[in-house]
Amino acid sequence: MSPASDKRDPGEPFPYYDGDIALQGELFPPAAPANGRAALVVHEADGIGGNVRRHCHDLASRGYFAMAADMHGGGQPLKGEAMANALQRFREEPDLVRGRVDAGVEALQRISGVDLSDSAAIGFCFGGFAALELARSGAPIAAVASFHGLLSTARKAKIGQVKARVAVYTGARDPLVPAQDLGTFQQEMDAADADWQLAIYGNALHSFTNKDVDALGDPRMAYDERAHHSSWSAMLGFFDQSLGLATPR
């Protein structure tokens, strides 16, 4: 039996490592006939939660082998000061966040048996930022997609460095992604000669894909059903165009 056809329960914990840091992802094998593709899904600031799991289930229902990555360690979400400190360190240390996401990609490739040319990484909020850092690192993955992720970086991509195709889905009213960051990101991608695209949803705030975010009562964030479904549909089409290309960039 090949790894991709292994009979596992959706959401089954999967231990892996980034150096000596023990991480615990969650696996979502294809729930439909396998399409030969794999996707790493990177969580929001706190850790693996309902939003990531829902999107992993959706990918699995379409034949993907999906894995929810663990960025913090132990598979446990962080709160308060511990979460803020972890995020600050990731923002300041590009090698740390890039290596942590890459460890997830390697673990997914190992357990799924899917080649990097048929694999993608996506992320939500902090996870979107982390996925973009993976692309900036030059990882030979086929595609990267960021949903309402931060676009600024401590280390901009260099020319020819970005191998993955890049898609960004963001809200025009997201106060965490100001217009200046949008312009700077576009300039960065152009200067790096990257294959990139950007979709902006006019009424969307931060976290527009997360059905649970309204419960937080944070005025910067709100679920937006139209932006959610439009961006997810766009990403699926983007993957159809990007994964399995005979000649990667």
Q: Please tell me the predicted confidence (pLDDT) of residue 100.
A: 98
Pairwise CA distance, residues 37 & 60, whole Å = 10
For each of the domains in the chain, give its residue range(s) and CATH number, in order of start: 3-242 (3.40.50.1820)
pLDDT tens digit sequence for 17-45: 999 999 999 999 999 999 999 999 999 99
User: Could you tell me the pLDDT band of residue 230, with boundaries at 50, 70 and 90?
Assistant: very high
**pLDDT greater than 90 at residue 246:** no
**CB contact at 8 A, 41 and 122:** yes
Percentage of the chain modeled with pLDDT above 70: 96
Pairwise CA distance, residues 189 & 93, whole Å = 20
What does the pLDDT average to over 91-102? Answer: 97
Query: Which of 247, 235, 244 minimizes the C-alpha distance to 35?
Result: 244
Q: How far is CA 153 from the centre of its chain?
A: 16
Reported pTM = 0.94
Query: Where is pLDDT greater, at 248 or 47?
Result: 47
User: Could you tell me the pLDDT band of residue 9, with boundaries at 50, 70 and 90?
Assistant: confident
**pLDDT greater than 50 at residue 223:** yes
Q: Please tell me the predicted confidence (pLDDT) of residue 2.
A: 43
- How many alpha carbons lie under 13 Å from residue 152 in its C-beta half-sphere? 10
**CB contact at 8 A, 120 and 141:** yes
Phi, psi of 177 (to 5 degrees): -130, 80
